[in-house]
Amino acid sequence: MSGKKVRVVIGLSGGVDSTTAAALLLEQGYDVVGITLKMWRNDCANKGENQCSESQSVTDAREICSKLGIPFYVIDESEKFKKVVIDYFASEYKLGKTPNPCVICNEKIKFSTLINRAMQLGAKYVATGHYARVEFSQQHNRWLLKRGADLKKDQSYFLFSLKQEQLARIIFPLGNIRKENTRELAEKHNLKTAKKDESQEICFVPDKDYAQFLKKLGLISERKGEIVDNSGKLLGYHNGIHFFTIGQRKGIKIAAPQPYYVIDIDPETNRVIVGSQTDLISNELRAVKCNWIMFENLHQEMDVMAKIRYNHPGAPATVIPEKDGTVLVRFHTPQRAITPGQACVFYKEDIVIGGGWIIKPK
């Protein structure tokens, strides 16, 4: 036995989760290499809304790596991030959808880049501070993605599109840990990030004003259109469908005895359709571009718990495979504000079976 340590590349955002994960890997005897991906907010050349706001995170990650005694690298992925994530984000809004950039970023930027660099550095695994678990199942002969033990912080929803070859190389050190314990562990290891606030929003739009962000970049522009009810009656006008999302109540600016909600967005007619809360209720959805984790493909109906957005608790549903590769998801009880562009992720207890992207029902 050579005694050579197994090398792990860990992605460091500069927050408490990833830096604590790095400390835990060291404690477990791994040879750890820290990498921060320079993407949007830490790209000073963009001089956008956030300017160089993430430089502090890079500094924190560098200081933690120095304290832990591990190598640290910064990889500039800002150009790829712009092409893959920001452009996707803009194109979805133009189509009247509500995008989920975190899923795209995880699959195509974060884990793709970390795994490629791990191969170059002779590392067997990559790690992040996500609250999720990866285990190999002898029964299925596949790598399975599972919810994190802390269900309030579980991030498996954002990871459903990861492929088998990616899952095989991933370690989530915080998968079995609760968030409050993470902070305790950070303090135990004297990490300066122990009390650092965490970001809850999309990283490149911290103020949540997505439309203004895209407008400022010149990726979308105002285009006047009609606001109508579900019978087609003209109620008012809007400045662009990208300013709206399904289920939205604020910002419609139409006086009525009962509040209006956005119930549909039609990019072809440039119309925003509004209605009552009851108009937001639906029993089913269709999902495309499905990624299956528990098995290669879905060949028969399956009862699952389906999450239609990250903060959705999940609801019992039957997933029905279609010949064209899409799936019909039929909920056992009606759901509110099913939104095209969001991910629908399927669970069996704590296992992520797979998921797909919600499209407008035909």
Task: Report if residue 214 sits inside a domain.
Answer: no
Question: Is the domain of 49 the same as that of 170?
Answer: yes
The predicted pLDDT at position 303 comes to 98
The predicted pLDDT at position 206 comes to 67
Question: Is the domain of 350 the same as that of 260?
Answer: no
Question: Is the domain of 152 the same as that of 40?
Answer: yes
Which H helix or E strand runs over 356?
A: strand 351-359
Angle at 67 between CA 203 and CA 27, to 5 degrees: 90
The predicted pLDDT at position 199 comes to 67
Whether 121 shows a pLDDT value over 60: the answer reads: yes
Task: Report if residue 206 sits inside a domain.
Answer: no
Task: Report if residue 215 sits inside a domain.
Answer: no
Placement of tokens 């660099």 in the chain:
117
Question: Is the domain of 142 the same as that of 11?
Answer: yes
Question: Is the domain of 127 the same as that of 265?
Answer: no
Asked if 220 and 242 touch (Cβ cutoff 8 Å), the reply is yes
If we measure between CA atoms, which residue out of 183, 126, 130, 173 comes closest to residue 155?
Answer: 130
Task: From residue 354, give the alpha-carbon distance in Å to each of 159, 161, 176, 283.
Answer: 10, 7, 21, 20
Q: In what order do the strands lie in the sheet with 225-229?
A: 234-238, 225-229, 271-275, 261-266
Question: Is the domain of 38 the same as that of 129?
Answer: yes
The predicted pLDDT at position 138 comes to 97
If we measure between CA atoms, which residue out of 170, 79, 101 comes closest to residue 129?
Answer: 170
Question: Is the domain of 98 the same as that of 150?
Answer: yes
Which H helix or E strand runs over 104?
A: helix 101-105
Q: What percent of the chain has pLDDT over 90?
A: 82
Please spell the DSSP secondary structure of 140-174, one letter per residue: TTEEEEEE-SSTTT--GGGGTT--HHHHTTEE-TT
Task: Report if residue 202 sits inside a domain.
Answer: no
Q: What percent of the chain has pLDDT over 70?
A: 93
Annotated catalytic residues are 105, 203
CATH code where residue 244 lies: 2.30.30.280
CATH code where residue 50 lies: 3.40.50.620
Tell me the three-class secondary structure of 178-213, residue by residue: CHHHHHHHHHHCCCHHHHCCCCCCCCCCCCCCHHHH
The predicted pLDDT at position 175 comes to 98
Question: Is the domain of 255 the same as that of 287?
Answer: no
Task: Report if residue 216 sits inside a domain.
Answer: no
Q: What's the structural domain count of the chain?
A: 3
Strand partners, 329: 285, 319
Angle at 8 between CA 343 and CA 151, to 5 degrees: 40
Which H helix or E strand runs over 234?
A: strand 234-238
- Is pLDDT larger for residue 209 or for residue 8? 8
The predicted pLDDT at position 49 comes to 35
Using the Cα atoms of residue 138, residue 139, residue 144 and residue 146 in order, give the sign of their dihedral.
negative
Longest Cα–Cα distance in the chain:
77
The predicted pLDDT at position 57 comes to 84
Whether 205 shows a pLDDT value over 90: the answer reads: no
Q: What is the pLDDT of residues 269-279, one digit of tens each?
A: 999 999 999 99
Please spell the DSSP secondary structure of 23-67, one letter per residue: HHHHHTT-EEEEEEEE-STT-GGG--TTTTTTHHHHHHHHHHHHH
If we measure between CA atoms, which residue out of 146, 131, 84 comes closest to residue 110?
Answer: 84
Question: Is the domain of 62 the same as that of 138?
Answer: yes
Query: What is the rounded CA–CA span in Å between residue 70 and residue 49?
Result: 33
Task: From residue 148, give the alpha-carbon distance in Å to each of 132, 175, 196, 313, 328.
Answer: 4, 5, 21, 14, 27
Question: Is the domain of 287 the same as that of 263?
Answer: no
Question: Is the domain of 127 the same as that of 160?
Answer: yes
pTM, two decimal places: 0.92
Query: What is the rounded CA–CA span in Å between residue 263 and residue 94?
Result: 17
Task: Report if residue 188 sits inside a domain.
Answer: yes
Residues composing the chain: 362
Question: Is the domain of 97 the same as that of 27?
Answer: yes
Look up the domain containing 34 and give its range.
Answer: 7-195
Q: What is the pLDDT of residues 277-292, one digit of tens each?
A: 999 999 999 999 999 9
